[in-house]
Amino acid sequence: MDTRVAFELGFLRVYWYGLLVTLGVLAGTWVAALEAKRRGDDPNVVWDSALWVILLGLIGARLYHVFSSPNDGSQGGWAYYSQHPIQIIAIWQGGLGIYGGLFGGALGILLVCIRRRLRFLRLADSIAPGVLLGQAIGRWGNYFNQELYGGPTGSSWWGITIDPPYRIRTPSADFTDLTRYPPETRFHPTFLYESIWNLVGFIGLLWLARRRGQHLREGDIGAAYLIWYGSGRLWIELLFRPDAWTLGGVPVAVWLSLFIIAVGMFVVVLNRRFSMPQPATHLRSPNASLHH
C-alpha cells in the first residue's frame, strides 16, 4: 500500500499531503478570524479574503517548487517539470515551497487591502499566528511523503527510517547505497524540527499579542513572524539539509530567511521610530455594522 495515501474513495485517492495542507489552511484561517475578532475587527474580512490569499499562496508555493533545482540526485524541480508540464498541477502528490507560498500569500493580502481599502500591516498581524499554525500542521505531509529529511542521525533510536525508493543522493553522500546506509538507518526528521519550531512560534505570537498588546505597533506581530520563522528555517537549512537547492554554495532558503529576518527587523525598528502604539481597532468590512 502507498503510505502517501490517506484513503481511497473508489477511483479517488486522497493523499496525506493534500489532506494535511488543507487542514493547516483551514486551521490557520480560523485562527486569523479569531484574532481579527479579538482585535475588534470584522472576522468576515478574513473569511471573505481567504480564497484569494490561499489561492495566490498555493500558486506561489507551487511555482517555487517547480522552478527549484534540488540537490538530491533526482533531477527534480524544473529539470523534471519542463519535460512533464502536466505534473505541475499535481500538488496533491507533494511539492510546495513555503517561501513561494509566503510571497504569494502576501501579494493576496495586499490585493485584498487595496480592493477593500484596509491597512495591510493590521490585517497581516491578525493572519500571522495562524500561518505558523498552518505550517506546523502542513509540515507533517512531508513525513508521509518521506521527503525533506536530513542526513543520518547516527543514532539507533532517534530519527526516521526512509524507504529505499525515497532515498536521496547528494554530492557528499549517496543515501541510496544500502550497504553504507542500510534500511534501518535513521535520518534527521527536519519536518518535525520545523513543525515544533512553528508551533512554539504560534503560541509565542498569541502570547505576545495578548500580554504585550498595549506596547505593540501595527505590523509588530507580522514582523515577529518573519523573524521567528526565518530564524528557524535558517538553522534547519544550514544544519540538516544536505539536498538543499543552493545559490552560490548557500541554500536558497537561507538567503530568503536572511531576507525576511531583515524585513521583520526593519519593520520593528521603523515602528519604534515613527509609529505610536497601535489603535484599538478598525479593520472592518464595508458592510459591517457600526455597532458590531
In a domain, 287, yes or no: no
Please write the tens of the pLDDT for every residue from 215-256. Answer: 889 999 999 999 999 999 999 999 998 888 889 989 999 999
In a domain, 146, yes or no: yes
Per the structure, the complete domain to which residue 210 belongs is given by 5-274
Amino acid residing at 124: A
Please write the tens of the pLDDT for every residue from 21-61. Answer: 999 999 999 999 999 999 999 999 999 989 999 999 999 99
- Total number of domains in the chain: 1
For 279, list phi and psi in degrees, rounded to 5. Answer: -65, 165
In a domain, 283, yes or no: no
Statement: residue 211 has pLDDT above 90: no
pLDDT the model gives residue 257: 98
Q: Specify the pTM.
A: 0.90
Please write the tens of the pLDDT for every residue from 60-107. Answer: 999 999 999 887 777 778 888 988 888 888 876 678 899 999 999 999
d(CA 191, CA 142): 6
In a domain, 197, yes or no: yes
